[in-house]
Amino acid sequence: MLNFSFVNPTHIHFGEQQISTLAVNIPLDAKVLVVYGGGSIKSNGIYEQVASALEKHVWGEFAGVEPNPSYQTCMKAVELVKAHNYDFILAVGGGSVIDGCKFIAAAACFEGEPWEILSKGAPVESALPIGVVLTLPATGSESNSFSVVSNLQSNDKLPFATPLVQPKFAILDPNVMTTLPTRQLANGVVDAFVHTMEQYLTYPVDAKVQDRFAEGLLMTLMEEGPKVFAKDAPYAVKANIMWSATMALNGLIGAGVPQDWSTHMIGHELTAVYGLDHAQTLAIVLPRMMMEQKEAKREKLLQYAQRVLNLDMSDEDAAIKQAIEKTEAFFHSVQMPTRLRDYGLGEEVADKIVAQLERHGMVALGEHQAVTLEKSRSILLQCV
Ligand code: NZQ
Ligand code: ZN
Check whether residue 74 and residue 148 sit in a common domain: yes
Is residue 190, in this structure, part of any structural domain at all?
yes
Give me the mean pLDDT over the 291-316 stretch: 98
Tell me the residue range of the domain where 304 lies.
182-382
Check whether residue 48 and residue 187 sit in a common domain: no
Check whether residue 119 and residue 263 sit in a common domain: no
Contacts of 226 (CB under 8 A, 6+ apart): 333, 334
Give me the mean pLDDT over the 218-246 stretch: 98
Residue nearest to atom 22 of ligand 1 (CA): 67
Count helices and strands in the chain by DSSP H and E runs: 15, 10
Is residue 3, in this structure, part of any structural domain at all?
no
Residue nearest to atom 43 of ligand 1 (CA): 141
Kindly state if the Cβ of 67 falls inside 6 Å of ligand 1: yes
CATH number at residue 212: 1.20.1090.10
Domain end point (choices 158, 175, 192) = 175
pTM of the model: 0.98
Distance, CA 156 to ligand 2 centroid (Å)?
16
pLDDT at 349: 98
Domain end point (choices 175, 198, 231) = 175
Kindly state if the Cβ of 145 falls inside 6 Å of ligand 1: no
Check whether residue 160 and residue 244 sit in a common domain: no
Contacts of 81 (CB under 8 A, 6+ apart): 33, 89, 104, 108, 128
ipTM exceeds 0.95 = yes
Least distant ligand from the CA of 249:
1
Residue nearest to atom 28 of ligand 1 (CA): 95
The Cα 308–Cα 300 span in angstroms is 11
The Cα 36–Cα 100 span in angstroms is 9
Kindly state if the Cβ of 176 falls inside 6 Å of ligand 1: yes
Contacts of 312 (CB under 8 A, 6+ apart): 319
Number of domains in the chain: 2
> Do 167 and 130 form a contact (C-beta atoms < 8 A)?
yes
pLDDT at 83: 98
CATH number at residue 53: 3.40.50.1970
Encode 323-344: b = buried (16+ Cβ within 10 Å), e = exposed.
bbebbbebbeebebebebeebe
pLDDT at 187: 98
Is residue 74, in this structure, part of any structural domain at all?
yes
> Do 98 and 167 form a contact (C-beta atoms < 8 A)?
yes
Sequence letter at residue 270: L
* pLDDT per residue as tens digits for the range 133-190: 999 999 999 999 999 999 999 999 999 999 999 999 999 999 999 999 999 999 999 9
Is residue 4, in this structure, part of any structural domain at all?
no
In which band, very low, low, confident or very high, does the pLDDT at 358 lie, cut at 50, 70 and 90?
very high
Domain end point (choices 145, 160, 175) = 175
Check whether residue 170 and residue 206 sit in a common domain: no
Sequence letter at residue 175: N
pLDDT at 252: 98
Least distant ligand from the CA of 191:
2
Check whether residue 160 and residue 191 sit in a common domain: no
Q: Which atom of ligand 1 is nearest to 97's Cα? A: 25
Check whether residue 293 and residue 219 sit in a common domain: yes
Distance, CA 171 to ligand 2 centroid (Å)?
20
Instruction: Report the chain's mean pLDDT, rounded to a whole number.
Output: 98
Kindly state if the Cβ of 146 falls inside 6 Å of ligand 1: yes
Check whether residue 231 and residue 191 sit in a common domain: yes
